Amino acid sequence: MEQKTALLYVSDRTGIVEFAFELSRLGYAIVSAGATAKLLLQAEVVIEEVENLADLPEPWDMRLKMAQPRLFAGLSMPAGAADLHIGLAAINLYPISEIAEKGYLSETEVMEYVDPGASALLKAAARNFTQVISLCDPMDYEDTVSALSEFKDIHLKRRRELAAKSFSHCSYHDATVAQYLAHDWTAFPEEWVIGLKKNQDIKFGENPHQKAALYRRTGERPWGLPAAKLLQGSALSFNHYLDLETAWDLVSEQTDSACALVKHASLVGAAAGYRLSENFRLAWESDPANAPGSLVAFNREVDAETAKQIADVYLECAVAPEFSQEAAEVLKLKKDLRLITLPSSLIAAKEINIHPISGGLLVQEQNQHTLPVEIRAVTQRTPTETEMHALKFSWLIAKHTKSSAAVLSCGTRTIGIGSGQPSATEAIRIALFKSRNRHPILAPSDSLVLASDGPLSMDCIVEAMHTGVQAIIQPGGTSHDNHTVHVCNQKGISMVFTGLRHFRH
């Protein structure tokens, strides 16, 4: 009867000693190498070291010794076709993601953890899954021992599952190495593998019947939303993360101090350029009927004054780069409020946006554009300095609002937002309705401006002029442009074309 042989060569040595003892009890001869072999020998497991399987040059390091033909033949050929048949291989690769994230290792040092021999052996075992049990996860040891003890073998379906898991382990490892070396996104390659690691489980998805988890990209230090730190409150939900992305992206693009309220991934209100507490008050007053239950984001450290205002209202989450010690003391009494800190969300060059669709992914460059260096006034009356400041603020707000989007602002605070509509006309009507109901009286000094993420038709301009809009910012570039400019000139409205569209879906 042919001797059963198991190859054990792991970076994650969780449970490997116990597993080796069980395999020995089941009649397996153990072959091992490197640190795994050293650990097993210390535990007094009887093993054969890989070095003894062939006459190999002494200077060779373990990665070269693992690439010897006898091991590959033992994993790849049918039982009896080679002098060594390996029926079980427990191999896992170095966690390159965790190693690269340390940040203090040089590229050369990180690459020392790439073991091509181990990867090739695991793939050889997985390829021959009808003859070899391939294991890469210590969590699978117990079930494997149970099956071998009871049935003397493992069902073909389970072998196939373990083989798929092994190939996935190798692919994840290789993708992480590729991401680490590439640094930047290569524009739309013909073939693309993404390395992702589960950051955390989420209680449920958009709805309670949907399972969910948060994954982060590997091969780099955690950044963006996976790097969020929860200071207090219960774990973030799936919907909280969607709101957080919208709000954080918006305030991060503002150079002045800014605040944004988001609910169901839709912008409720925003303000910038005032004291942080005033930004919060104005953002809340933009739509006080819908503000309760929102997520609020700030791009500056939250101080005690702002914290006291937050404590007086109902919010789900508050996110900022930091919370002062005094602010944290004020807010710790609100047990249901989640406090989150996030590092700068400045988008990396060539960062991408991925949208899953049935059977594939839509991939595009991230929308990093804000305003052209020179924006063009197309009307006889050019915007005043105050109006231009308000227009630039409103344009950035519209960029982060679901299309079709219309943003009405007084200075650098929103007073009416229409979003997620099939037409710009409908979005403007909603924004106007909200502004009339929430802000029926405006100070004469306030500059009422309108921003649209897409080009405006004549109907849109007519809707706007009846509300006292003094300045408009929009992409332009349609057959209606001459007509809309003419009407704005008649009414003394200044209008700016950006030549840039900001649709967001």
Is residue 224 predicted with pLDDT exceeding 90?
Answer: no
Residue 205: predicted pLDDT = 96
Residue 361: predicted pLDDT = 92
pLDDT band at 463 (very low <50, low <70, confident <90, very high): confident
pLDDT, tens digit (0-9, with 9 covering 90-100), for 84-104: 899 999 999 999 988 988 878
Residue 346: predicted pLDDT = 54
**Which pTM was predicted?**
0.86
298's enclosing H/E stretch is strand 294-298
pLDDT band at 221 (very low <50, low <70, confident <90, very high): confident
Residue 90's φ and ψ, nearest 5 degrees, are -105, 105
What single letter denotes the amino acid at residue 497?
F
The residue with greater pLDDT, 242 or 467, is 242
The residue with greater pLDDT, 413 or 366, is 413
CA 490 to chain centre: 48
In 70-228 the beta strands, taken as DSSP E runs, fall at 88-92, 133-135, 196-202, 212-217
Which position has the token pair 């004291």?
275
Residue 227's φ and ψ, nearest 5 degrees, are -90, 5
pLDDT band at 439 (very low <50, low <70, confident <90, very high): low
The residue with greater pLDDT, 222 or 290, is 290
**Dihedral (CA of 153, 154, 160, 165) sign:** negative
pLDDT band at 266 (very low <50, low <70, confident <90, very high): very high
Under DSSP, the state recorded for 78 is P
Is residue 63 predicted with pLDDT exceeding 70?
Answer: no
**Strand, helix or coil at 61?**
coil
pLDDT, tens digit (0-9, with 9 covering 90-100), for 136-179: 999 999 999 999 999 999 999 999 999 999 999 999 999 999 98
Strand partners, 360: 357
Under DSSP, the state recorded for 452 is E
Counting beta carbons within 10 angstroms of the beta carbon of residue 356, is it exposed (0 to 12), middle (13 to 18) or buried (19 or more)?
exposed
pLDDT, tens digit (0-9, with 9 covering 90-100), for 365-409: 888 888 876 788 999 999 999 999 999 999 999 999 999 999 999
In 404-484 the beta strands, taken as DSSP E runs, fall at 406-410, 413-418, 448-452, 471-474
Mean pLDDT of the chain: 91
Which position has the token pair 């970076």?
11
**Strand, helix or coil at 197?**
strand
Percent of the chain scoring above 90 in pLDDT: 72
Residue 55: predicted pLDDT = 59
Q: Which domains does the chain have, with CATH numbers?
A: 4-182 (3.40.50.1380), 231-341 (3.40.140.20), 372-497 (3.40.140.20)
- Whether residue 91 contacts residue 10, with contact meaning beta carbons closer than 8 Å, is answered with yes
Is residue 47 predicted with pLDDT exceeding 60?
Answer: yes
Residue 51: predicted pLDDT = 79
Residue 61: predicted pLDDT = 62
Q: Cα separation of 53 and 36, whole Å?
A: 16
How large is the average pLDDT for residues 49-56?
Answer: 74
How large is the average pLDDT for residues 54-63?
Answer: 60
pLDDT band at 42 (very low <50, low <70, confident <90, very high): very high
Contacting residues for 389 by C-beta, under 8 A, at least 6 apart: 273, 411, 412
What single letter denotes the amino acid at residue 388?
M
Is residue 59 predicted with pLDDT exceeding 60?
Answer: no
Residue 348: predicted pLDDT = 54
Counting beta carbons within 10 angstroms of the beta carbon of residue 42, is it exposed (0 to 12), middle (13 to 18) or buried (19 or more)?
exposed
Q: What is the dihedral of CA 78, 79, 84, 88, to 10 degrees?
A: 90
